[in-house]
Chains A and B, each alone.
Chain A
Amino acid sequence: MTSFRLRTHLIVYCTLITLLLTAAIVTLYTSRFKNYAIDSLTARGKVITIHTAFSVADNLITESYAPLQKFIQEVAAKDAGVEAIQISDAEGVILAATEVKLLGAMMDQDPAGKCMSVDEDVCLVIDAKHAQLIVTAPIVVGKIELGKTRVSLSMRDLLSNLHEIQSNGVIIGLCFWLLAVGIGSFLARYLTIPVQRFMAAADSISQGDCNVQIPSARWVLELDRFGQALRAMAGTIATRELALQVSERKFRHLFERAIEGIFVADGTGQLLDVNPAFLRILSAASREIVFKQNLFANIFENEEALGQFKELIAKQGFVKDHELALVKSDSTSVIVSLTCHVIKGDDGSIHKYEGLIRDISAQKNAEKEIVRMRNYLNNIIESMPSMLVTLDAESHVTQWNSAAYRLTGISSAAAIGRKIYDIAPFLSKYSEQVDSTNRQHDPITLYREQVTQDAEHLYNVTFFPLVANGVNGIAIRLDDITELDFKEQQLRQAQKMESVGTLAGGLAHDFNNVLAAVLGNLSLLQYRLRAPQGLPAHEILEYLERMESSGQRAVDMVRQLLTLSRKHQIDLVPVDLNLSVKHVRKLGENTFDKSVQVVVHPAECPAYVLADATEMEQVILNLCINGIHAMTIMRGDGIWGGTLTIAIDKVVVDPVFQKRHPEATGTLYWKVSVSDTGIGMDTKTAAKIFDPFFTTKEQGKGTGLGLAMVYNIVRQEQGFIDVYSEPGHGSTFSVYLPLLVREGISVSSAINPLAIIRGEGLVLVVDDDKRVREMAENILETVGYTVLTAENGKEGVEKYQQHQAGIKAVLLDMAMPVMSGREAFVEMKKINPDVKVLLASGFRKDDRVEEILGLGVKEFLQKPYTLASLAKVMKKVIDS
């Protein structure tokens, strides 16, 4: 298309606009003038016609025609524009006319054509030939048309004026055109120069010179804006060019450093560009080597892979994460994930392939490993002797191992997806545990459960929360402990027999004594009977009673041994601990080492717990035997014997106690404490004493099963054990068992946890055990005291000296390094003879304690103490 200069455009457009405007204005004006003139002429013609019709009606009715002629002559004479008037009767006969020769002739019905318009029965016709407007109106009276009147008006003046207007319009239009051409030329010149400068600048910008000087054209707003826009464009282009370079560098950098191999190949598969990662994945030394290769012919490992690739490309235009094997430069294979798309030309043919490859060999190996591991784990699960079932949140089975199949006869395929209670109804009774585990995510273990109807089999049932793939569920494990239970019973029996063995020495002695008494009395009876004087009957009876008494003692001993050693089923019944202690003490009277003094502090009321009576006695007996061994056979210091104290106390669980004993879930416990004054042990040893087969005794003297058995029994009976020991001073084993409230047995005597006796004032706590010291501090502060602490006797004395005036009482531990409790008390007594000291110790109240009490200590408090007991005793000390 031919381009014209701006100047040409402007002149042409100005000319066209001017001419069009002139033509439009002239046409519009002449048209409106013509319409107006015709309307005026028409109105005049109507007025004349109607006036004439009205005026001549009476003449027509009265047939007075002569005045008609005169009348129309007068009307025509008065108005120069009226060229002719005709009046006809109803028949159309002209009765009067300005052209006299027409009188008597018929009036032309259609003069110069049809009516142009009919308004109020008035017909208008323009007679162009004669330049006349002919107006014809009927002469009507009532509904009777009497005739017609016709007036012809000249249009010559009108046409003359129209021609004049048109001529003037053309002349004015020409003048405007000349003016427009002149202005157009000037404007063109005015605008062309800056535009040409802008064009030159734009050329420079298009050639990359964005710093070109853009001319200013401030006198023309649009050009000025254009110049500004051009400057802004140049700036933007420069900025974008820079950004493009940066971006290109960035993406080149990404291309070069990408972990995935990136490639570009032409439509035949010939590689055009690759990044280093691509070379690395294919173990190629350089791009040049790769560029000599064809992606499809040389790098795809096989035709099948190529076929799949091309099929996918043809189908969807791209492939994504398509796994295939490529041939590396060293002829080995590498498995890659290929993502590729094609770039097609206008004809639909493939121009380029662009894509990336990711070496997924390691991933594939990992997947294989995962599969292998999964199989391995499945094998483990399947080979587990325990039934293992996993459920989702709605209790549908998600895992079902072989043991479950063996137990239920239902295969894994049949079980998975079904409700557990539908396929294993015997688990319905555990729905509460299932729901609880689901809800609280805490594992629950039930021991020795008879799960199925088979009464011979016992199971430990464990419910533990399971979170897999973000879906909550639980796992149920049923461990068949039938055999284990049997073995455990055997083990207990063995341990009992060990205890019996331990007691055997003492028993032999007692039996010898019994036998000696029997045999001695028997031989004496025989001798006296053989004597001639014989024996009186009452003496014989006396000998027989002695023998019977000894025999009865032997019977008791044997019965107790049998009781201890017999095999029995666990039977949890209310057991009074006082009786259990009494039985053990009686058993030990002849069997415990005589160097050991046994002291018993029974509870003031029956101490009922829910337990197996035999096992309970076994626990107490084992603890006693351990304590006696610690005071006898395990001592190496030449000292033999000591005091074994058995005590039963009621314990109220308060927050402090519970903090130290998380196992305490109840509020009231019976505590059976067995204290000895033996060799004691360090904390390291104490941490292991409940481990099976752990023993500190010489070989042959202990199996390491005693305390393990105690631990198991106590746990089984919902209790727990606490141990306090100090090397060289002895040990205290405290067994806590839930207090059983029996009907008729009031627990009102129990200490009301809320009935804490509060006090006030400064108390000095002296204890080497940090935890005990902090606990005592917490308790005393809780009940209202202010506490000062010291970690040994010496520091305690120093602090007491400093604050003696404010200190109301001292809580003093008995066994401490640096300075013992006894020594500290003596020093404090020197400072203040009235010092109020509460002595605390893990040992029972023995001679050592009695000695210190004799020195003036106010009270003794057995460790471990509780909030209530400490508060009560401390108040008592202060008030003393």
Chain B
Amino acid sequence: MDKIPCRSTILWGAVCAFSVLIVPLLGQAHEPLNPNVIKFGIFPYQSPKTIVEIYGPLAARLEKKLGKKIIISSAPDAKIFLEKARNQGCDLLLSAPMAYYKLRPAGYKVIAKGIPAFYGGAIVRKDSEIKTIEQLKGKKVAAMGEHSYCAYSFILPQLEAKGINPRKDVEFQFLGKVDSVIYGVINKKFDAGLIKIDTLDLPAFAGVRDQVTIITRSPEIPQFPFVVKISMDATTIAAMQEVFAALSPDNPEELEILESMQVERIVTATDADYDGFYEQIKDTDYFRQP
């Protein structure tokens, strides 16, 4: 078990380095030429296989509704995801809010979103001495990435408010995957971890849910928006929204899909629905980066 993350880390390192060189070539090579194909890009907030397993049923419904093949795609990390999206590699995206704000200038718009909103939080082991945010000073904290508000950015203002310089007084490490964060805390590799809180409600973490304690929460965060290219025709958009809206918690099968996506419903939304949240976070370091 220990060797797998190690090998995986090496592999991912090599992949990242190599991808910088060849992705443009590959991306161009795989530009969807077939109008009967819709590429569904999903923000890499989970492992690629988990993403496919979660969104496979939704893709099947879209396929059936639209009469087009839906190809699920993801990316090794948020950065590559943004790159692929900007290069218009996807027709439909499920993006993290932070990434969405960066992609908006590239010609994407919101057509739907999950409800209700969610929260980010800092978790520690139940037997940990850390009970408050102040105690994070000098500690190793696992986070998803700089792009993640719920699993990183939210805590920075809270730390600063406590007089802690997050860049100096806390050792953040970006692990990219939520399970790595959770198990990193449980395995005592990290003193604390930053995660989307409702992740703990997933069946995969049922066995460890009681072993951690949340010591702080983020403000309310809107769910990941479904965004499409601005050029997409209205009919297709409407059909997609219809599929999203049709998912009902009253249907056991559809309830399972919604629960795996950690939302109660998917409702039609617009860019305006995310403007308020943008105003809250626009001054974070993330938006200062290109």
Contact = CB atoms under 8 A, between A and B. Distances in A.
A70 B15 CA distance: 10
Contacts of B26: 63, 65-66
Given A141-B52, A144-B56, A62 B74 contact: yes
Contact of B52 (A64, A65, A144): A144
A90 interface: yes
Contacts of B180: none
A66 B19 contact: yes
Interface in A92-112: 104
Given A57-B49, A67-B18, A62 B56 contact: no
Given A70-B14, A90-B71, A64 B53 contact: no
Interface string A50-90: 00000001110111111100100000000000000000001
Contacts of B47: 58
B52 A142 contact: yes
Interface string A847-862: 0000000000000000
Interface in B18-65: 18-19, 21-23, 26-27, 29-30, 44, 47-49, 51-53, 56, 59-60
Contacts of B19: 64, 66
Contacts of B59: 144
B56 A61 contact: no
Interface string A143-154: 110100000000
Given A62-B44, A90-B71, A67 B49 contact: no
Range of interface residues on A (Cβ < 8 Å)? 10 to 19
A59 B49 CA distance: 10
B49 A66 contact: no
Contacts of A90: 71
Contact of B49 (A58, A64, A65, A143): A58
B18 A57 contact: no
Nearest to B8: A58
Contacts of B75: 62-64
B97 to A, nearest CB: 21
B56 A141 contact: yes
Contacts of A66: 15, 18-19, 21-23, 26
Interface residues of B, number: 30
B18 A61 contact: no
B29 to A, nearest CB: 8
A141 B53 CA distance: 7
Contact of B73 (A57, A62, A67, A70): A62
A141 B72 CA distance: 11
Contacts of A146: 52
A630 B59 CA distance: 165
A61 B15 contact: no
B238 interface: no
Contact of B15 (A67, A104, A141, A143): A67
Interface string A110-153: 00000000000000000000000000000001111010000000
Nearest to B11: A67
B76 interface: yes
B131 interface: no
B84 interface: yes
Nearest to A59: B15
Nearest to A67: B15
Interface in B66-97: 71-76, 80, 84
Contacts of A57: 48-49
A142 B18 contact: no
A290 to B, nearest CB: 117
A783 B60 CA distance: 137
Nearest to A65: B26
Nearest to A54: B49
A59 B18 CA distance: 13
A70 B18 contact: yes
Contacts of B21: 66
A613 B206 CA distance: 145
B14 to A, nearest CB: 7
Contacts of B15: 59, 64, 66-67
Contacts of A65: 22, 26
A61 B73 contact: yes
B222 to A, nearest CB: 25
A63 B30 contact: yes
Given A67-B11, A141-B49, A61 B72 contact: yes
B285 to A, nearest CB: 26
A61 B22 contact: no
A86 to B, nearest CB: 17
Given A62-B74, A66-B26, A143 B56 contact: yes
A90 B26 CA distance: 16
Given A66-B19, A144-B56, A61 B51 contact: yes
B14 A58 contact: no
B56 A58 contact: no
Nearest to B53: A142
Would you list the 9 A-B pairs with minimal beta carbon distance, nearest first?
A61-B48, A58-B48, A141-B52, A66-B18, A142-B53, A142-B56, A67-B15, A66-B22, A62-B74
Given A63-B73, A143-B56, 19 more contacts: A61-B72, A62-B44, A62-B48, A62-B74, A62-B75, A62-B80, A64-B75, A64-B76, A66-B18, A66-B19, A67-B18, A70-B14, A70-B18, A141-B49, A141-B52, A141-B53, A141-B56, A142-B53, A146-B52
8 contacts: A61-B73, A61-B74, A62-B80, A65-B26, A66-B18, A66-B19, A104-B29, A143-B60
